[in-house]
Structure 1
């Protein structure tokens, strides 16, 4: 087992056969490349595909040593993030809050090896272009915001840890099926000073008891595996196409920061079970049919449960404007961006004045 660990760790870095420099992953490809001489090598893919791990042995702490690896970690005392940092970094800053990290504080820790990784699809330069386009499209932004100081050293590609869970779902349910029907309801109204009797159609629901069984496969329930005390990843960018996952290979991590999961597998499984319950209710509603449904009780069980530890890509950075720091995040696969931004007081002020004047004119004309 120790020999296996040493082999895995040594594969985290690969030297260029021409100049000896470290080969790093080239986003959007399946290659690692040398930034100095341009030499490229193909990342050899695992022909066995993804490694789905049986869930129960891990929850029972029987499988804690299998499919595990020892890595070097640094803990940010400011925001609490746990980051895997490469040995050749000389100037270290937290990828989330940019606070300095101390190399001497690095410690070794085991983690469950990722079963899959979603590689970055574009480089740091492209993430800056996305930022510039985003800035130009902001409403009520100061005119000179495009001159914001964006430090390339503060832009980091980060692999975020997630759990995915698969399971066969079996459930029985009881509820009610609702079918709409319409009735004519008389009412009175006044027309030209006279009382007039009319009818209108009102919708009613006819409820009938329903029960049944539902079965199906739940594939890749995605559960976040880390907490961010500060600068949490916005939900707006947290959408990835998992069909593009690649079998895990450490070469994809070269040149990027990797965050270690801080939400234990057990807690992740509890969250996935809650998601499975929501899925069971949705399937029960579909099975009941009709125009609307009531689900009173669902008795659910999960079997053949497996999981993966996967890594998903995001660029994190900060820019300065008028002496204040703002953060932004870019999805490393789709290019979706979200971030904090400054507002122009005068633009908002004159816009409000314009609205007030416009409303006043409209009121004056209508009167």
Structure 2
């Protein structure tokens, strides 16, 4: 039997049972509901989803789900616990996190089939060339970092993401001041006027992303954004052929807090931008209400490379659609000394030529 997760009817956030009131409350928008209200809402949503699909669409979905169950294979790393997903023709020979070569194959359990995917836009050779070009602009990087033996571990990974859509109503209120300075005779005056400001509005947010993996660095994934979601395709197992995928270990409820904070802050900023003509504005109250929150599970393409250097693991990632690069790279202290020596010598020579250094 599956676990029933109650969702807030106002903002889509997870509901928590409160023994003192015997009701369910949302920690994000502070709404409170009785059990029957929530069950009726869930029943309505499920019925609407089922009736909105034609018989042909339902059959197609069943076939896709069956294909995923038949062909999706799971691999578990005994060293770091990473769980990898790929098709039944792709061999996962090592873990792309820790490079442990002992990977245990098993039939994938549970329903982790994505709805959409952005396919890789360039192959491994092109990704390697982009990576080497990027590294050559880093003068303090160890030359062994781009050795062929290391670059063999460059892996194409489909990263699990949740894309959120929602409609927002927002209100802000606060205090604004307008300052005017003028002179009369020999006296200079400063006049300060105080105003109460209110702003309200609505907005639609689409495709707000949050990665669904605890092992991946959220900051690293954020730097790789944005992806162009116009390239999203309906998922089929064919896209996994030759690639790996991370199995999500955070569902939409786990990442909702992060996403709702981003949306709230952005909505507040949009409203504050409408307050013009004042010298100073202080916002004292913000209220944001969510409607029609929906999350779509998608896979996004990332070329990933991990590197062991002096007991530390460094992770490099490249957006498999746009080529944007991010990572924390190891510094070769030998090259640091050589580089700064060369820089110092060059500066020294320049100072002599320019007559700036006196003996």
> Structure 2: how far apart are the matches of 1:141 and 1:272?
35
Structure 1 match to 2:109 = 109
Structure 1 match to 2:227 = 240
Structure 1 match to 2:243 = 256
Structure 2 match to 1:176 = 175
Shift of 1:205: 6.9
Structure 2 match to 1:308 = 296
Shift of 1:315: 0.8
Structure 1 match to 2:20 = none
Which of 236, 239, 257 in structure 2 is aligned with 1:270? 257
Shift of 1:251: 2.1
Structure 2 match to 1:156 = 155
Structure 2 match to 1:298 = 286
1:167-246 alignment runs, 5 A limit:
167-179=166-178, 181-182=180-181, 206-228=193-215, 233=220, 235-246=222-233
SS at match of 2:110: strand
TM-score under structure 1 length normalisation: 0.66
What residue ranges of structure 1 are gaps of 5+ in the alignment? 1-53, 186-196
TM-score under structure 2 length normalisation: 0.67
Q: Are the equivalent residues in 1 in contact too, given 2:114–2:298 (CA < 8 A)? A: yes
What residue ranges of structure 2 are gaps of 5+ in the alignment? 1-9, 16-37, 51-60
> Structure 2: how far apart are the matches of 1:114 and 1:204?
61
SS at match of 2:109: strand
SS at match of 2:323: coil
Q: Are the equivalent residues in 1 in contact too, given 2:11–2:291 (CA < 8 A)? A: no
Q: RMSD over aligned Cα, in angstroms?
A: 4.3
Cα separation, partners in 2 of 1:305 and 1:235, compared to 1, 3 Å: closer
Shift of 1:360: 8.3
1:265-319 CA distance string (max 9 Å, x none): 2121222221221122112202333345322111221111111011111111356
Give the structure with the larger helix fraction.
2
Cα separation, partners in 2 of 1:203 and 1:124, compared to 1, 3 Å: farther
Shift of 1:93: 0.7
Cα separation, partners in 2 of 1:203 and 1:90, compared to 1, 3 Å: farther
Q: Are the equivalent residues in 1 in contact too, given 2:183–2:189 (CA < 8 A)? A: yes
> Structure 1: how far apart are the matches of 2:133 and 2:331?
16
Structure 2 match to 1:338 = 326
Q: How many residues are treated as equivalent by the alignment?
A: 299
Structure 2 match to 1:86 = 87
Q: Are the equivalent residues in 2 in contact too, given 1:169–1:217 (CA < 8 A)? A: yes
Cα separation, partners in 2 of 1:115 and 1:205, compared to 1, 3 Å: farther
